[in-house]
Chain A
């Protein structure tokens, strides 16, 4: 899939674009900037919280996996229009295994020995809409949207 076909047009709708080094501290600062920016988005408080979770998991995955053995940068773009948020994250790290996103199945909620990880993709998939990943020109592109009222999807 060519990048240009799904990449949102830059310009008027774009509200925030950040390029950060791929490390956990920079991710924290980017999330704080995104959170501040989302205050202008028209999304509900609840939807902004959801957005921060999904963006955090997307960025953390890139730091931990795509750039597991190299350094590099992540570009984060937020676009809001008509009460919807569109997020595009790109990086120059390694491709996702098999060229596709992990299934993100829910880890078993074992009360005796509950899982300590494996929730990242589960949360991304549960909370986002129109989630897409593709590799183009040596870069990973992750795209998703968030509705104004994410609770509807969870209860569906």
Chain B
């Protein structure tokens, strides 16, 4: 599971480079995310714009990552593709996460 990270302002942006988060990859995704979110950024944004498909195992893994962050931090999602969006909407998990159309720009540079 290839996950790339960028720290920007108060955000840790994690970009999933795979085209699917499914039963074959969900545990690995969760384990990789557990390591990455050791970074202290208050906001973690998971960029799913390259993920074409996510099944209920993948959904469960994303929920588990949200719980890993604990009460003081948020997992935000960005760039949901149509089938992924359908899974979140159908299961009403779209009401549990802050979902952005694309990765937020973060704090504007004052300079």
Interface residues of A (CB under 8 A from B): 24-25, 27-28, 31, 45-46, 49-50, 52-53, 56-57, 60, 63-64, 106-107, 109, 111, 113-117, 119-120, 122-123, 126-127, 154
Whether A109 contacts B24 by the Cβ 8 Å rule is no
Assess the A24–B83 pair: CB atoms within 8 A: no
> When the two chains form their complex, are residues B22 and A119 in contact, meaning their CB atoms are under 8 A apart?
no
**B90 at the A interface (CB under 8 A):** yes
Known pairs A57-B55, A116-B60; list 5 more (Cβ under 8 Å): A53-B55, A56-B55, A106-B92, A113-B67, A122-B91
- Chain B interface main SS type: helix
Within 8 A of A (CB), among B41-82: 53, 55-57, 59-61, 63-64, 66-67, 82
Smallest CB gap from A45: residue in B: B82
Q: Could you tell me how many residues of chain B have their Cβ less than 8 Å away from some Cβ of chain A?
A: 26
Please, what's the 1-or-0 string for B22-37, where 1 marks a CB less than 8 Å from any CB in chain A? 1111000000000000
A49 in complex: contacting residue of B22, B82, B93, B95, CB < 8 Å = B82
Bound-state Cα–Cα, A51 to B67, Å: 30
Whole-angstrom CA separation of A60 from B9 in the bound complex: 40
